[in-house]
Structures are given as C-alpha cells and as structure tokens.
Amino acid sequence: MRATVCLPTYNERANLERMVRALQGVLREGDRVLVIDDSSPDGTGEIADGLVSELSFVGVLHRPRKEGLGPAYLAGFRRALDEGAELVLEMDCDFSHNPADVPRLIAAAEDGADLAIGSRYVPGGGVGDWGLVRRAISRGGSLYTELFLRMGVKDPTGGFKCFRRSVLDALDLPAITAKGYAFQIETTYLAKRAGFSVVELPITFDDRTHGASKMSRRIVLEAIWRVPLLRFGRT
Ligand SMILES: Nc1nc2c(ncn2[C@@H]2O[C@H](COP(=O)(O)OP(=O)(O)OP(=O)(O)O)[C@@H](O)[C@H]2O)c(=O)[nH]1
Ligand SMILES: [Mg+2]
C-alpha cells in the first residue's frame, strides 16, 4: 500500500533535511513524504523546496501562516489523499518520533489496523529523560482523556500515527478544528467512534536535540476543554 508521511514543520531548519534522508532509508518505492510548512521564518520552506527539486518522492505544501498542528495536518491529509495515498502517516519533524519505527506502523496498517498509533504507554514503549513535570502533564493528559472518552487507548495525545485512507475518507475532516494535542485525541476518538480498529505499537519518544518546542500552555488548555466537549458536545 502506498504511504505518504505528512511532516508538519515550523522552524525545523536543523532537522528537516536529516529527517527526509532518514525517511528515504526506510520508505519503499512509491511511498512519499509531504512537508507542510507554515511559512517558517527560519527558511525551512526553502530547504523543503530544495529537497523537492532533488528527490522525486518529496512534496511540499506551503501555507501562509502558523495555525497549529491540526490545520497543517488536515491540509496535508487532503493533499495526500488527492494524490492517491493508501496509507497516511503523521510524524513530528524533530526526531522525537524515530523514522526507524515507520515501517512497523505501516506494517500494522497493512496487516489490518485501520489506525496504528506509536505509543509511549504500552509495554515496551517509553519516553527519554523527561522531567517530572513533563511526565505528569503527558500521563495526566492520557488519564484525563480516558476518564471522559473511554477509548482504551493508552497514549491518546501521541502524534505518530498511520491511518488507512478509508478512515480519513470517512471522517468529516473540515469539521475538526482542534489545533494541538487535542487534534490527536479528536482524530483517534472519531475513528474509534466510527467503528475503525485502533492498534498501539510501542515506541520510545526522545526529546528533540535541535530547534525549539512549540508546545505551549495554550495547547494544553485546549485539550482540557475540548476533551469533555468531544464526549458531551456538538459532534
Ligand atoms: N506546519 C506546522 N507545523 C507545526 C506547527 N506547530 C508545530 N509544528 C510541527 O509539529 C511537530 C511537533 O511540534 P513540536 O514543536 O515538536 O511540539 P511537540 O512535539 O508537541 O512538543 P515537544 O515534545 O516539546 O517537542 C514539529 O515538526 C513542528 O515543527 C504549526 O503551527 N504548523
Ligand atoms: Mg516535538
């Protein structure tokens, strides 16, 4: 099944080229990488253009401004589906997600999982040397999500995922308005609610060594108010 890895970038000049070359080493004939850059001021978009002209498996979507991870992924999903991808992956460009794990996610989807998630919180998974606060936020977020949504997913905020296209075709993508971690929770919730199978595979999540995190208090707060809304709200 032809896979497209969607790679959202904002100021990832220190990571993008290394990431694309690492993906080149693990992807198969016909697979693609789609960079979704929100006009990064550090020139990441120009680096992407250079890679597109050199490597035929790479594409780029330039967006006018930073709108958060959610809208960037939705634009990427649309493009990947329009280009005929049968599997669509989400992945951070900061090496927190290990490109060497991509083939396992793809294999799980090819073996029948509608959505395969790289999970820090199943046996064999883990995080690098995170401090106590960071651990608490991540674990607390998972527990809070489970409390409301009862998905049985151990790592609902994780952003290393592989969707079969049937899942994305079935979801009302433009109706998803979440921007940050909430986007990850919402896509998995909607997939489960629509009856699709979700499988978690263990991954180790390492902190970025280059570039700056875009995690913010706002992104955490957004997840806090959106999770109950998913359960009791409009959709
Ligand atoms: N296109 C686009 N990409 C974004 C945006 N915000 C974050 N990203 C990218 O999304 C990926 C994850 O963002 P990070 O900054 O690593 O945030 P995070 O992984 O939630 O937080 P950390 O674990 O602290 O790194 C990276 O590849 C970012 O460059 C955005 O608004 N637009
Ligand atoms: Mg990160």
Q: Measured between alpha carbons, how far is 187 from 184 in angstroms, rounded to an integer? A: 5
Find the largest Cα–Cα distance for the chain.
Answer: 49
pLDDT of 111-154, one tens digit each? 999 999 999 999 999 999 888 998 998 999 999 999 999 999 99
Lining ligand 1 with CB less than 6 A are 8-10, 12, 36-38, 66-69, 72, 92-94, 96, 208, 213-215
- Tell me the best of 92, 127, 138, 157 to mutate to test the pocket of ligand 1, counting ligand atoms within 8 Å of each CB and taking the most: 92
Confidence at residue 196, expressed as pLDDT on a 0 to 100 scale:
98
Looking at ligand 1, which residue's alpha carbon is closest to its atom 21?
Answer: 215
Instruction: Find the angle CA(158)-CA(35)-CA(166) to the nearest 5 degrees.
Output: 60
Band (216; pLDDT cuts 50, 70, 90): confident
Band (215; pLDDT cuts 50, 70, 90): confident
Burial of 10 (0-12, 13-18, 19+ CB in 10 A): buried
- Tell me the best of 214, 219, 220 to mutate to test the pocket of ligand 1, counting ligand atoms within 8 Å of each CB and taking the most: 214
Looking at ligand 1, which residue's alpha carbon is closest to its atom 13?
Answer: 214
Q: Which residues of 52-69 are buried (b: 16+ CB within 10 A; e: fewer)?
A: beeeebbbbbebeebebb
**Rounded mean pLDDT, 29-58:** 98
Confidence at residue 217, expressed as pLDDT on a 0 to 100 scale:
87
Residue 158: Cβ within 10 Å count: 27
Strand duo 204-205 + 126-127: pairing: parallel
159 Cα: distance to centroid of ligand 1 (angstroms): 10
Residue 34 pLDDT exceeds 80 = yes
Residue 235 pLDDT exceeds 60 = no
Residue 188 pLDDT exceeds 60 = yes
pLDDT of 173-187, one tens digit each? 999 999 988 999 999
